[in-house]
Amino acid sequence: DYLIYAYLQRGEDEKAKKAVQKMMEVKQLQNHLGAAYAVAAGKTRYNLEREEWDKAAQIDMEVANTFLLEKYPAAQSMIYF
């Protein structure tokens, strides 16, 4: 998540995109708030920082399919706009 944010702040959008893709390819995540936060925040930041509002509106489905966010309401709340 923070690596994605750092790339975006430096204008390295392609590196940020690759980091998001790599994160979303992870098959098994720890059942922990930290993992839920990282997945939700990483994907969310990428779209919001790039002002991709239409894609940001689709995040809930993509992330929810990757991780069971309903167990972590604080992380879940980050993907709704």
64 and 24 in contact (C-beta within 8 Å)? no
- From the number of C-beta atoms within 10 Å of its C-beta (0-12, 13-18, 19+), residue 62 rates as middle
Query: How many C-beta atoms surround the C-beta of residue 8 within 10 A?
Result: 20
Per-residue pLDDT of the chain (81 residues; tens, 9 = 90+): 899 999 999 999 999 999 999 988 887 778 888 888 888 888 889 999 999 999 888 876 566 566 667 788 888 888 776
Residue 38: enclosing H or E segment and its boundaries?
helix 33-49
Contact between residue 15 and residue 7 where contact means Cβ atoms under 8 Å apart:
yes
pTM of the model: 0.78
Hey, what are 58's tokens? 């689709």
